[in-house]
Amino acid sequence: MDNKSNQLKLKRLGIDTQEEYILLIHADCFICKSEGFEALTQIVVNHNNNSLIAMVNIVHSNILQSCEASLSESAWKKLGVNEGDFISLSHVTTVTSLSYVRSKIHGNQLKPIEFDAILNDIVTGKYSNVQLASFITACANSNLNTNEIISLTQSMIKTGEKLHWDYPIVVDKHCVGGLPGNRTTPIIVAIVAEAGLIIPKTSSRAITSPSGTADTIETMTKVNLTAQQIKQVVAKEGGCMAWGGALGLSPADDIIIKVERLLDLDPEGQMIASVLSKKGAVGANHVVIDIPVGPTAKIRTEKAFLQLKNYFTIVGNAIGIKVYIIKTDGNQPVGIGIGPALEAKDILAVLKNEKSAPSDLRNRAISIAALILEFGKKIPHDEAVKIATNILTKGLALKKFLDICEAQGGFREPNTASLTHDVVATKSGIVTEIDNRNLAKIAKLAGAPNDATAGMEFFAPIDTHIEQGQTLYRIHAESKGALEYSLAYALSMPNIILLK
């Protein structure tokens, strides 16, 4: 078939399918007919010297003519096409790395070169979500041994950008598995940078939670920095608080995580590779990992904690990162605010040493900052705690925080939501248990993180004595609809905060 007869004119339908590349062609399209292409098959889309593999959707309406085709938004951008451009289609030749996925399914150990091929094909869009799901499943349930987790981590780093630093010690921190409101990062960055260490902190936005660290910081300063800007801020202030998403660090991880969420799976091996590949890509060589443990946290038992600690340490060592693990309380939210702006208010209260500042957030931040100082500056534990506490108490952390914000484009006060509603206790009692997951959902339904001021203030930590009629939490929202929607869910879940 000559090239001309295999040409389709592009029309932009603007359909967002996230990372999955979709090609839309009309049912009467001659190529479609002659080659027997049908929905749920993969096909190669060619444009000039570029190509990508897409899944086919067949259109039966007049949104496309038979000589036209469209691409999902991610494919449109990846191929760099414009309205009216011509594409040609061809059959998929074998994606070799899929045979390594099948090999893993059949219980074989994968070699570093095989992980490289898989991750490279994932990043270049050769895997459909269905194939990603199969890869994730094949690597779950301890199916990866330590060597494979190391290989996977190294391959993930290789597929993306990497920050390079001339400093001998570059520190970082990470928290595994979210507790609502656990927003220690800005406080820690301020303390650690003030103490003279280099901490080029990048954070993510929320995926399933009411706020990611980057969402929270964004209510106070700009977080969308380039690698060059990060370098400048760090050179000036010793630390930064940037959004990692646009930097292309370990991009395979971002793709894999979205499919894991659909499967409600977060397999250990992939989680370790996910965390450490980001740290490796950002150029850190000393990292504290905060692992909250509790009955409704991601890590629920001492045994699971110790196993994870062991893996993190071994894999970290193998890729040149010294890992220090800290176990924290995973029973309940941290601080008062849940949602971007409300969490920011807690952070500012701690930095300003206000009397009302949540002590749990303050104590966690000091503990982790002290641990970083202890190994980063090679000083005794007690001294590290003293230094961290002093920096915070004397207002030096606040000053450093504001200086970093200034270097990132200026500080602004977080806003306040226009509407609130208090959810009160229907009986008196002692708080014995908190359903963190559903508490977070109420904050999300109120609009967080898209509405930065939405979320909740939480007033009922475990062991608090609550009187009937006392406020358990206060929902914040920007619109009446969102407030009512969140409240309806809250009222349908009376046992989110268990009183006994």
Q: Which of 48/450 has CB closer to a copy of itself?
A: 450
Dist CA 199 CA 189 (whole Å): 7
Q: Show contacts with a copy of itself in window 11-50 (CB under 8 A).
A: 12-20, 24, 27, 30, 33-36, 38-42
Least CB distance to a copy of itself at residue 178 (A): 16
Name which position in 89, 110, 117, 137 contacts a copy of itself (CB under 8 A). Answer: 137
The phi and psi torsions of 483 (rounded to 5 degrees) equal: -60, -45
Q: Which of 107/320 has CB closer to a copy of itself?
A: 107
Contact between 494 and a copy of itself by CB under 8 A: the answer reads no
Q: How many CB atoms lie within 10 A of CB 351?
A: 24
List the x/- string, 70-109, binding to a copy of itself by CB under 8 A: --xx------------------------x---x--xxx--
Q: Using CB under 8 A, which of the segments 43-51, 136-144, 163-171, 224-232 binds a copy of itself?
A: 136-144
Dist CA 358 CA 190 (whole Å): 17
List the x/- string, 242-261, binding to a copy of itself by CB under 8 A: ----------------xx--
Least CB distance to a copy of itself at residue 287 (A): 29
Name which position in 186, 212, 414, 447 contacts a copy of itself (CB under 8 A). Answer: 447
Name which position in 131, 155, 182, 408 contacts a copy of itself (CB under 8 A). Answer: 131
Q: Which are the contacts of 406, defined by CB distance < 8 A and separation ≥ 6?
A: none
Q: Which of 16/463 has CB closer to a copy of itself?
A: 16
Dist CA 186 CA 135 (whole Å): 35
Name which position in 51, 120, 129, 470 contacts a copy of itself (CB under 8 A). Answer: 129
Least CB distance to a copy of itself at residue 148 (A): 16
Q: Which of 307/353 has CB closer to a copy of itself?
A: 307
Least CB distance to a copy of itself at residue 257 (A): 11
Q: Show contacts with a copy of itself in window 186-215 (CB under 8 A).
A: none
Q: Show contacts with a copy of itself in window 57-76 (CB under 8 A).
A: 57-61, 63, 72-73
End-to-end CA distance of the chain, in Å? 76
> Which of the following is catalytic: 28, 85, 266, 435?
266
* Peptide bond preceding 449 in cis form (omega within 30 of 0): yes
Q: In what order do the strands lie in the sheet with 471-477?
A: 337-338, 455-458, 471-477, 419-424
Q: Strand, coil or helix: what is 330?
A: coil
Q: Which are the contacts of 248, defined by CB distance < 8 A and separation ≥ 6?
A: 160, 161
Dist CA 361 CA 336 (whole Å): 9
Q: Provide the Cα torsion 426, 430, 432, 438; round to 10°.
A: 30
Q: Show contacts with a copy of itself in window 448-487 (CB under 8 A).
A: 449-450, 479, 481-482, 484-485
Size of the site for a copy of itself (CB under 8 A): 65
DSSP state of 414: P
Least CB distance to a copy of itself at residue 101 (A): 8
Contact between 263 and a copy of itself by CB under 8 A: the answer reads yes
Residue with token string 């603007």: 14
Dist CA 312 CA 323 (whole Å): 7
Least CB distance to a copy of itself at residue 9 (A): 16
Name which position in 8, 52, 132, 351 contacts a copy of itself (CB under 8 A). Answer: 132
β-strand 465-466 against 429-434: which pairing, if any? antiparallel
Which two structure tokens, joined as six digits, stand for 261? 């969420």
DSSP state of 108: P
Q: How many CB atoms lie within 10 A of CB 197?
A: 22
Dist CA 395 CA 469 (whole Å): 38
Residue 388, CA distances (Å) to 285, 345, 468 in order: 21, 21, 40
Least CB distance to a copy of itself at residue 131 (A): 6
Q: Which of 95/318 has CB closer to a copy of itself?
A: 95
Q: Where are the alpha helices (DSSP H) in 282-334?
A: 302-318
Q: Show contacts with a copy of itself in window 282-311 (CB under 8 A).
A: none
Name which position in 134, 182, 270, 274 contacts a copy of itself (CB under 8 A). Answer: 134
* 85 included as an active-site residue: no
Which two structure tokens, joined as six digits, stand for 195? 């103490």
Q: Which are the contacts of 130, defined by CB distance < 8 A and separation ≥ 6?
A: none
Q: Which are the contacts of 169, defined by CB distance < 8 A and separation ≥ 6?
A: 197, 198, 285, 286, 376
Contact between 225 and a copy of itself by CB under 8 A: the answer reads no
The phi and psi torsions of 353 (rounded to 5 degrees) equal: 55, 40
Q: Which of 33/412 has CB closer to a copy of itself?
A: 33
Which two structure tokens, joined as six digits, stand for 149? 């987790």
Q: Which of 266/433 has CB closer to a copy of itself?
A: 266
Q: Which of 115/401 has CB closer to a copy of itself?
A: 115
Q: Which positions touch a copy of itself (CB under 8 A)?
A: 1, 5, 12-20, 24, 27, 30, 33-36, 38-42, 57-61, 63, 72-73, 98, 102, 105-107, 128-134, 136-138, 140-141, 258-259, 262-265, 444-445, 447, 449-450, 479, 481-482, 484-485, 488
Residues marked as catalytic: 266
